[in-house]
Structure 1
Amino acid sequence: MTILKTALKKIFRDSFKEPVKVIFWDGEEISYNGEEPKYTVKFNKSISDELLNKDPTLALAEAYMDGDIEVEGSLEELIVDLYKNKDSFIRVKSELLSKIIKSKNNKHDSRENAHYHYDIGNDFYKLWLDKSMTYSCAYFKDKNDTLEMAQENKIDHILKKLNIKPNQKLLDIGCGWGELIIRAARDYGAKSYGITLSDEQYTKTLDRIKENKLEDRVFVKLMDYRDLKNEKFDRVVSIGMLEHVGKGNLNDYFSKVNELLNDGGISLSHSITMPNDGANNIFLNKYIFPGGYVPGIKEIITEVAENDFHLLDVESLRRHYARTLEMWTDNFESNLDEIRKTKDERFIRMWRLFLQGCAGSFKSGNIDIHQVLFSKGINDELPWTREYIYK
């Protein structure tokens, strides 16, 4: 027990810049960086010293999920503090990571991974997403934008970047609950196609297409993007999908986009990114996004170049995603009574850690999100400046 406490004291001493107080399971209290704590971490019981030695991030995350640790103060700001410190335990490379991460996601893995995360239940997601069920970074034109407004802004921002024209064919790879393909057809006159691996998303998207009376202009399929053959599109977009293809499949993805695009066609990838090399997160891979891999921005740009695309535009939306996650968190916490009707406390603490942890990770700059716009061959139909995007 003494060895465990010694290890934990070192972890907390080396990981925080802000004042933090730790209360151990035996009542001992210790403060770091000042006497007025910004956060208090209380251990209700001891934790696994074996797991702590192998991966402190996973050990402490699971202890929080199990209720063995309580945090007083902002969990999000605590995560920000951890990422600001280069000596923090959260930056230690996991010894366990390689055992649960596959370098490539085959079609069966991809299907199972999508089912694990996205088929939790539409009723659950409806409680904290906006009414359009858009589950990706919003775009805030103003600090007072509501979540719904910001998600509408995001769809328009993407479709304007793509310079979509009436009757052009657009493909959304990983179309979620269908908001973009419906808006592209309804508001921009496109002929829209979406594909997803999620049963719940597929069923809901079909319903929304019928509700909007767009059966002749919007189409959705339950399939892997790699199985799409003998089709050509003027525009191809993916929002929050590239993070799911796996490190070993990045080239396959961009090669497939090249195959699907008409000459002069334009594609946009909206993806979480790492500032340098790509990375996995053991907590997210084990509990939230199995098979996930966050590519480095340089990996994406390299793939664009190596697949003979022409890079048109790169934009960071890091602050926008932090704000989106904070709004999702507010909605999540406001609907706990409803969530508890179908989910247990461990699930709730797991998702709280996920939402606030991701917000903190974006806020600290540990991760970013980029929209990367590129064309197959030269496209001289785009306006000369970015002004067309902001009209």
Structure 2
Amino acid sequence: MSNSEISPDEQFELHDGARQLPRLGPGRAAMWLLAKLLSRLVRNGHLTVIDPCCGTWRFGGGDGPAVSVRLTDKALPAQLLANPSLALGEAYMDGTLRIDTGSLRDLLSICMADLDAVDALPGKRIRQGLDAFLSRRLHHNPINRARCNVAHHYDLSTELYDLFLDADRQYSCAYFATGNETLDEAQALKKRHIAAKLLLRPGLDVLDIGSGWGGLALELAQQHQARVTGLSLSTEQIVAARASATQSGLSEQVAFKLRDYRQEKGQYDRVVSVGMFEHVGRSGFDDYFSTIRRVLKPDGVALVHAIGTMAPKGGSDAWIRKYIFPGGYLPSLSETISAAERSGLWVTDVEVLRLHYAETLRHWSERFAAERGTARRLYDERFCRIWEFYLAVCEMAFRHGRLMVFQLQLAKRRDTVPLTRNYIADAEADHHCHIRALGKQIGRAR
């Protein structure tokens, strides 16, 4: 019997009241338990699951997307129960979970709309407990390990990142002031927002910890006449950033160094770190903020932009940790502020960006999908599936889960920054017209 020819005896429907299945054999017990979970989990949208034994299970109701998936590995239902995040990602990338109708983003939207139900799974609780027990080893990143972790992700071909990032290669949360911005406009607004919080003026020395492909450093030099030192452990990023500095005529004003931030000895008026704190690991919090305090001049200002969680304690997702960001740790805001305060720094401003990264990831997913053929030529089909899942699952974690982005402004002295936040809007207004014109220009060029 083919998978599309399912007999009536093999069809089961589970809604709010799951009924007992007749003659349930041991090989189908895991699927039955998984179905009971899905009957509680799926509330918005319609999900149809065809199991490895050709049984059909239907869940959900009301408005929302309709998705049909096919499981081809008999071990998969048990794996999904034991470790749902890891198993779902691996099943998609290995092809043992196939989407017949709908999209991956729709599937994840349906399954992640109620994460409390997923977290209530016994396997999930056991995994969380094990992660907590192994937390120091999982998230401990001395310099040598940090180099390997960075190389795993950031030393991929720059051509890959050009497929879905904006023209400036900003690989962090954009800033959607109205929600109607293009990706290029929103990334330009992010840089403007950060620059405003840094209270820049001509001639300041700025340290950019985790400088990526150099876009922010070059902007601070060009638009604010700063002297910038950018640090990264990615060879690919450093090569590309130095090339951009040369092309922009800013090589004398901006220097990019292949160096761990803990090895930095200079003194700076400003320190900025965007999308890097997530790679530090919980055991490295004190070193991170102590380093910022050590390199910051007495009247200096620092800005940390990072992914965090609104949970009481941070952590990492098993699939993301294994395939995307080894050693990564998403902190809670409370434990981050505690570490900053332990270092002797004043927290002078806090801002939480909630859905901004969900929108950023939506743009990245759409761009990656449009250039998928090129990505497959660069790598292979499995790689494309890994990155599709990565971008989509992260979007849904920000859209439905507990993730957010925070920006912490820090200083050594309590009187370093103005008494109110009006200076931020004033500084941003000075660059608004420039960004709009830039966004339209880039959009036409693409």
* Superposition TM-score, scaled by structure 2 size: 0.83
Q: Which amino acid aligns with 1:263?
A: P
| Partners of 1:178 and 1:377 in 2: CA distance | 29
Which structure has the larger Rg? 2
Which residue of the partner structure matches residue 262 of structure 2? 226
CA RMSD of aligned residues (A): 2.1
Q: Tell me if 1:66 matches 2:104.
A: no
Does the CA-based 8 Å contact 1:247-1:295 persist in structure 2?
Answer: yes
Q: Deviation of residue 78 (structure 1)?
A: 3.6
Stretches of structure 2 that go unaligned for 5 or more consecutive residues are 1-26, 430-446
Letter in 1 for 2:48: K
Q: Which amino acid aligns with 1:40?
A: S
1:131-210 mapped onto 2 (5 Å cutoff):
131-210=167-246
Alignment partner, residue 11 of structure 1? 37
Paired residue secondary structure (1:340): helix
| 1:209-255 per-position Cα deviation (integer Å, ceiling 9, x unaligned) | 111111211011001111112x1111111111000001111111011
Give the aligned residue type for 1:4: A
Taking structure 1 as reference, are residues 14 and 88 closer, same or farther at Cα in structure 2, changes over 3 Å only?
Answer: farther
Residue of structure 2 in register with 1:390 after alignment: 428
Out of 93, 100, 117, the position equivalent to 1:87 is 117
| 1:109 and 2:145 aligned | yes
The residue aligned with 1:242 is: 277
Q: Are the counterparts in 1 of residues 267 and 296 from structure 2 also a CA contact under 8 Å?
A: yes
Q: Relative to structure 1, is the Cα distance of residues 289 and 218 closer, same or farther in structure 2, using a 3 angstrom cutoff?
A: same
Inter-partner Cα distance in structure 1 for 2:180 and 2:309: 28
Q: 1:385 to 1:63 in 2, by over 3 A?
A: closer
Contact 1:56 1:89 in 2 (8 A): no
Give runs of aligned pairs for residues 302-317 of structure 1, distance below 5 A.
Answer: 302-317=338-353
Q: Which moved more, 1:140-149 or 1:8-17?
A: 8-17
- Confirm or deny: 8 A CA contact 1:328 1:355 kept in the other structure: yes
Paired-residue identity, %: 33
SS at structure 2 position matched to 1:236: strand
- CA distance in structure 1 between the aligned counterparts of 2:39 and 2:178, rounded to whole angstroms: 39
Cα contact 1:46–1:68 (8 A) shared by 2: no
Alignment partners' CA distance in 2, 1:73 and 1:274: 29
The change in CA–CA distance for 1:302 and 1:193 in structure 2 (over 3 A counts) is same
Q: What letter matches 1:59 in structure 2?
A: A
3-state DSSP class of the match of 2:347?
strand
Per-residue deviation, 1:89? 5.6
Post-superposition Cα deviations, 1:175-230, rounded to whole Å, max 9, x if no partner, equal 0000111011111011101000000000001101111111211011001111112x
**2:69 corresponds to:** 41
365 and 314 in structure 1: CA distance in 2 versus 1, 3 angstrom threshold: farther
* Contact in 2 for aligned 1:47/1:63 (Cα 8 Å): no
Q: Residues of 2 paired with 1:174 and 1:345: CA distance?
A: 30
Deviation at 1:146, TM superposition (A): 1.3
- The answer on 1:337 being equivalent to 2:364 is no
> In the alignment, is the contact (CA less than 8 A) between 1:325 and 1:358 conserved in 2?
yes
How far the C-alpha of 1:163 sits from its partner, in A, is 0.7
Contact (CA 8 Å) 2:73, 2:96: kept in 1 or not?
yes
User: Aligned partners of 1:8 and 1:360: how far apart in 2?
Assistant: 21
- Distance change >3 Å, CA 381–CA 285, structure 1 → 2: closer
Higher relative contact order (CA 8 A, sep 6+): 1
Please tell me whether residue 21 in structure 1 is matched to residue 87 in structure 2.
no
Query: Using the alignment, how far apart are the partners of 2:307 and 2:398 within structure 1?
Result: 9
Instruction: Say which SS state the counterpart of residue 368 (structure 2) adopts.
Output: helix
Residue ranges of structure 1 left out of the alignment (5+ in a row): none
Distance 2:408 2:66 in 1: 38
**Alignment partners' CA distance in 1, 2:317 and 2:348:** 30
Aligned partner of residue 293 in structure 2, secondary structure? helix
User: Structure 2: how far apart are the matches of 1:244 and 1:253?
Assistant: 11
More displaced stretch, 5-14 vs 182-191: 5-14
Distance 2:342 2:119 in 1: 36
User: What letter matches 2:41 in structure 1?
Assistant: S
Amino acid at match of 1:286: K
Q: Does 1:56 align with 2:94?
A: no
- C-alpha separation between the residues in 1 aligned to 2:427 and 2:98? 46
- 1:37-91 CA distances to partner (integer Å, 9 max, x unpaired)? 7222221333346644542321222111111112333433443443332112697
